[in-house]
Amino acid sequence: MGTTQLESVPEPKYWHLKTVLSEALDSEFSVGEILPNERDLAARFGVARATLRQALEQLELEGRLQRRRGVGTTVAPPRVGVAVGTEQHDWPGSGDDAWQPVDCVQAAPPAGVAAALEIPSGEAVHIVRRSRMSHGQLVATELLHIPAASVPDLTAIDAPSGPARARAVLRELQHLELEGQDRAVELGSARADDARDLDRLPGAPVLMVTTRFFAEGRTAALSVATYRADTCRLTFGDSPGVEIHHDPEQQAS
Amino acid sequence: MGTTQLESVPEPKYWHLKTVLSEALDSEFSVGEILPNERDLAARFGVARATLRQALEQLELEGRLQRRRGVGTTVAPPRVGVAVGTEQHDWPGSGDDAWQPVDCVQAAPPAGVAAALEIPSGEAVHIVRRSRMSHGQLVATELLHIPAASVPDLTAIDAPSGPARARAVLRELQHLELEGQDRAVELGSARADDARDLDRLPGAPVLMVTTRFFAEGRTAALSVATYRADTCRLTFGDSPGVEIHHDPEQQAS
């Protein structure tokens, strides 16, 4: 695999090792295969174990390797493109939404969320928890914050909690006219409960997608979604996802 | 700052410490302030240094702390919203583009890029290197890959290299009719040259944004942009960026 070096720069040792390892992954290993242990790998490439570990961390960040407790380090399949931005603007829960409601509670959101919703700090909102599957795997969890003012006709009678309650809240939300939405993507670390659902360790790097839904001239709902960063590539636009970080042979498998 | 705990889950020690530290950052420290050294911090919170380090790593991932060589650990300013997705579709370099051309070379792109451009592996393309400033800081670098077929009338005469050459290539590109574009965002690690330009260490987590530009029924150009993940929040849509991960008091400062 060729590399594009526009300018000659001094590269740290682990960086060079990463390139060599990356080529070895392409030529000698198949997806899902377990790598030899660190001691053997370090010996094979003639490097210190600390250097090896840094190179393995890089490859994990780039989605080439997965490290799982009790399994070891395996060759990761290509990242899955997960559509996040679409041309049409819809309320959560409408149409062919990729998200499944899991639960719904009433609680005060974090201060930052309250500020974004322009509600007093400490005021309870509906918090719908949802999860998203893609290719048979849980790829994201979401907390959707909906102030009481956005669902004024909601009754507590028929579904006090659980997925049924979540669906009732989302159904009420559809009565508002959605005026627009915007999104932000940033790096984050997995909270303990999200990490458990996503099969990651607490604190693992994740992609946080914050979506504001506008109605009646204000932010009527705010979604904070946590995507696995190791297996997901977030796609925006109507075309199928872009695949550039893996070898074509590996993509086909 | 309140937290939303939908279910009770066992949290690792560093996770609890992270929460405590986060509150201390809000109440006792201001943006840019240097934190006490690890030994003093570990003693103050009564934890092992390994635990402290894990908590500091989490806070760095979340953009609350910055660790800089020769300076130490400082309290990070709120992340800057950088607009990535826009409603209008334009060629790179046209209109009020936020990117500055730096250089232009002809070289064979990595195999994955060649595959996305549907050109034979090893075939040289124009590679325009650009950088993006935001709020007085370099926030992203970009390699824009343009096959020779996309700029058939380009002449080598007046600007053989450098920013002038980059501008000439981009000017030629405008002659194609842009039919559409799509984007993907994923986690990556900074290459050595990008890391140097972005003032990060090689291998630091970055947000990789891959954009495909379509014209004449094919991918006419492919951009791979590397954004600082510590200081940037990528925004999609027309509204100003969403600010939810910091304390409102800190945002105002």
Query: Are the C-beta atoms of residues B25 and B73 closer than 8 Å to each other?
Result: no
Residue A244 domain flag: no
Residues B68 and B89 in one domain: no
Which of B209, B244, B246, B249 best tests the A interface by mutation, with the highest count of A CBs <10 A? B244
Looking at the fold, whether B55 and B112 belong to one and the same domain comes out as no
Both B112 and B53 in one domain: the answer is no
CA distance A54 to chain B (A): 9
- Average per-residue pLDDT for chain A: 84
More confident residue, B71 or B150: B150
- pLDDT value at position B175? 93
- Under 8 Å between Cβ of B58 and B18: yes
Candidate from B3, B85, B203 with C-beta closest to A85: B85
Cβ of B180 within 8 Å of Cβ of A238? The answer is yes
Q: Is residue A227 part of a domain?
A: yes
Same domain, B99 and B37: no
Residue pLDDT, tens place only, A196-233:
899 888 888 999 999 999 999 999 999 999 999 989 99
Residues pairing with B137 in the sheet: B134
Which residues partner with B68 through β-bridges? B72
Residue A108 lies in a domain: yes
- B243 reaches A (C-beta below 8 A): yes
| Contact with chain A for residue B16, Cβ under 8 A | no
Q: Does residue A5 sit within a domain?
A: no
Q: Cβ–Cβ contacts within 10 Å for residue A187, how many? A: 25
CA-CA distance, A30 to A75, in Å (whole number)? 7
Mean pLDDT of B158-172: 87
Residues A163 and A147 in one domain: yes
Q: What are phi and psi of B41, to 5 degrees?
A: -65, -45
Question: Residue B241: inside a domain, yes or no?
Answer: no
Instruction: Return the pLDDT at B135.
Output: 82
Among B58, B75, B92, the domain boundary falls at: B75
B100 and B146 co-located in one domain:
yes
Q: Which residue has the higher pLDDT, B98 or A145?
A: A145
Q: What residues of A are in contact with residue B15 (Cβ under 8 Å)?
A: 192, 202-203
Phi–psi pair at A129, nearest 5 degrees: -100, 130
B145: closest chain A residue by CA = A4
Does residue B211 sit in the same domain as residue B108? yes
pLDDT in tens, B58-92: 898 888 998 877 788 999 998 989 988 765 678 88
Quick check: A95 contacting B, CB < 8 Å? no
Whether residue B141 lies within 8 A of chain A, CB to CB, comes out as: no
Q: Over the stretch A122-157, which tens digit does the pLDDT of each residue have?
A: 999 999 999 999 888 899 999 999 999 999 988 866
Which H or E run contains B236?
Answer: strand B232-236
Asked if the C-beta of A97 comes within 8 angstroms of chain B's C-beta atoms, the answer is no
Tokens of B18: 């992270």
Nearest to A143 by CA among A204, A83, A226: A226
In the structure encoding, which two tokens stand for residue B222, read together? 């492919």
Determine, yes or no, domain membership for A245.
Answer: no
Q: What is residue B252's predicted lDDT score, i.e. its pLDDT?
A: 35
Q: What is the pLDDT of residue A174?
A: 92
- Percentage of the residues of chain B whose pLDDT score is greater than 70: 86
Residue B70, sorted as left (phi over 0), alpha (psi -120 to 50) or beta, turns out to be left
Residue A241 lies in a domain: no
When pLDDT is cut at 50, 70 and 90, the band that residue B4 belongs to is very low
Task: Check which CATH number belongs to the domain holding B152 and give it.
Answer: 3.40.1410.10
Chain B residues with CB under 8 Å of A9 CB are 192-193, 196
Closest CA to A246 of A104, A77, A15, A84: A77
Residue A59, min C-alpha distance to chain B (Å): 8
Provide the shortest C-alpha distance from residue B94 to chain A (in Å).
20
Question: Among candidates A113, A103, A99, A139, which has minimal Cα distance to A221?
Answer: A113
The minimal CB distance from A111 to the residues B63, B115, B248 is found for B248
pLDDT of B107 > 70? The answer is yes
Q: Are residues A208 and A102 in the same domain?
A: yes
Cβ density class B75-114: b for 16+ within 10 Å, e for less = bbbbbebbbbbeeeeebbbeeeeebebbbbbeebbbbbbb
On whether residue A207 sits in a domain, the answer given is yes
Which of A23, A117, A130, A182 is the best substitution to test chain B (most B C-beta atoms within 10 A)? Answer: A182
Is residue B100 located within the same domain as residue B207?
yes
Kindly report the CATH number assigned to the domain that includes residue B42.
Answer: 1.10.10.10
If asked whether residues A70 and A145 sit together in one domain, one would say no
Count: domains in chain B: 2
pLDDT band at B10 (very low <50, low <70, confident <90, very high): low
Listed residues A75, A102, A128: the one ending a domain: A75
Say yes or no: A97 and A55 in one domain.
no
Give the pLDDT mean for B166-181.
92
pLDDT at B86: 62
Both B70 and B84 in a single domain?
Answer: no
pLDDT, position B247: 40
- What is the model's pLDDT at position A193? 86
> Is there a contact between A183 and B236 if contact means CB atoms under 8 Å apart?
yes
pLDDT band for position A10 (cuts 50, 70, 90): low
* Tens-place pLDDT, residues A162-205: 899 999 999 999 999 999 888 999 999 998 889 889 988 888 89
How confident is the model at residue B19, as a pLDDT? 85
The residue among A233, A67, A53 whose CA lies nearest residue B224 is A233
Domain that holds residue A69: 13-75
